Amino acid sequence: MLEKLITDFPEHMSRPVNKKLPLQGIRIIDFTHFIAGPFATMILADMGAEVIKIEAPQRGDDFRQYPPFDDEIGQGAPFLWSNRNKQSLSLDLKTPEGLSVAQELIKSADIVVENFSTGVMQRLGLDYESCKVDNPKLIYCSISAYGRNGSFSDRLGFDPIAQAESGFISMNGYSDREGVRALSPVMDIGTAMMTSNAILGAIVARSQHGIGQTIDISLFDSAVVMSGYAPVQYLFSGKEPQRHGNTSPDTCPSGAFKASDRTFYINCGSNKIFQRLACQVLKLPELAESPEYATVKDRNKGRDKLFSILNAEFAKQPWTYWQKSMREAGVPCGLIRTVAEAIRSDEAMESRVVTRIPHRVKEWVPNISLPIKYSETPLADPVAAPNVGEHTLEVMKKVLGYSDMQIDDLQEAGAFGKNFAFGS
């Protein structure tokens, strides 16, 4: 598949050389693994922060193994997606020497981000209370399943568990069967965005007030937020949200409809949009004027009949006809695409959200950009995710200033893992 990158996707356009980076000069020591933590630090790395990812020797972050795994690159595609613009340092934190290196790095850091099980960083002596002694302005962010304090702090959790326990799954799918999870790790990504936002806020607070602090982010809390306004609706009405499939209890008509050739989605979020759909697109003014469909409540009540009318009309023309007509009328609509169609769409090509970037082993690898476009401080040019320990020597010399002799002694002591070889 990767051989199609050259023909299917544009090369990443380099940022202007004279522009500064938003987080230039900020150093982050990254003790995270899997998705939520690494995606959060990648967002900050894209903004120009120096992110040094601490990984266990040899195997590294377990997320490296997620499929499809590429033997030539030595990592899976999901890891490549979530770890660009980072340096990887191989450290055995079970050795005194490896732990000492980690402590030295934290002394030089602006931010530490970790998502180990609760208690691990304390046992290692890398908790906030220990680290702030030598670095009082340190920003220390912990990501966990249910928070670092309280009676649930020992619980482990992944994205699907957060989807289940937050009520998110109960809202999705069809009413005649169990709720379904979102295949995309939406809670991990949502938690990552919460984390990066929290860290940015802490950076501003430190610049204004001269203080460091801890940040506690939980996957469960983020998942409750990601369930949208449903909890508030429940608290006002006392009614549990129901599964509506592709329709909506709040807007109507909203759902999937079939043209003569393709299925598409429309969302009439207001009475005015419905009026435009009926009059300008479908040329059915009587539909717009019918008291049966005057309000959202009325349209939801008569949804089955209304949808039958709409599908009968939409079946008369192909998608391109309806897309043009609805775009001109200002009716939100979109083709229901596959992932392959989405990343090759005109919209994706124009925004350059999917590009190809050089790789040290393969000629090119794919890259999914963040949707952030700064005018004066563009995001960093993407550099493909590193191999385990790829930057160990560079970090030891350039960041910590260690001599060759010191590095050799640490290597001999197993600080970087047994049988570690630079450049491997």
- Kindly list the catalytic residues: 188
Q: Tokens at residue 81, please?
A: 């997606």
Helix (H, G, I), strand (E, B) or coil at 30: strand
Other Cβ atoms less than 10 A from the Cβ of 411: the count is: 19
Contact 227, 167 (CB under 8 A): yes
Q: Tokens at residue 106, please?
A: 């934290």
265: Cβ contacts below 8 Å, ≥ 6 apart? 246, 255, 256, 257, 333, 334, 335, 336
Contact 196, 43 (CB under 8 A): yes
398: Cβ contacts below 8 Å, ≥ 6 apart? none
Contact 293, 287 (CB under 8 A): yes
Q: Tokens at residue 186, please?
A: 């939406």
Q: Tokens at residue 223, please?
A: 């998942």
Please state the φ and ψ torsions of residue 269, each to the nearest 5 degrees. -80, 0
Helix (H, G, I), strand (E, B) or coil at 263: strand
Alpha carbon distance 59, 88 (integer Å): 12
Q: To which residue do tokens 């030295």 refer?
A: 104
Burial degree of 16 (CB within 10 A; 0-12, 13-18, 19+)? exposed
Best CA proximity match to 102, nearest among 136, 84, 127: 127
Q: Tokens at residue 183, please?
A: 């295949």
Best CA proximity match to 253, nearest among 233, 276, 264, 269: 269
Alpha carbon distance 163, 321 (integer Å): 38
Handedness of CA 320, 321, 322, 325 (dihedral sign): positive
Alpha carbon distance 411, 368 (integer Å): 36
Q: What angle do CA 38, 137, 50 make, to 5 degrees?
A: 35
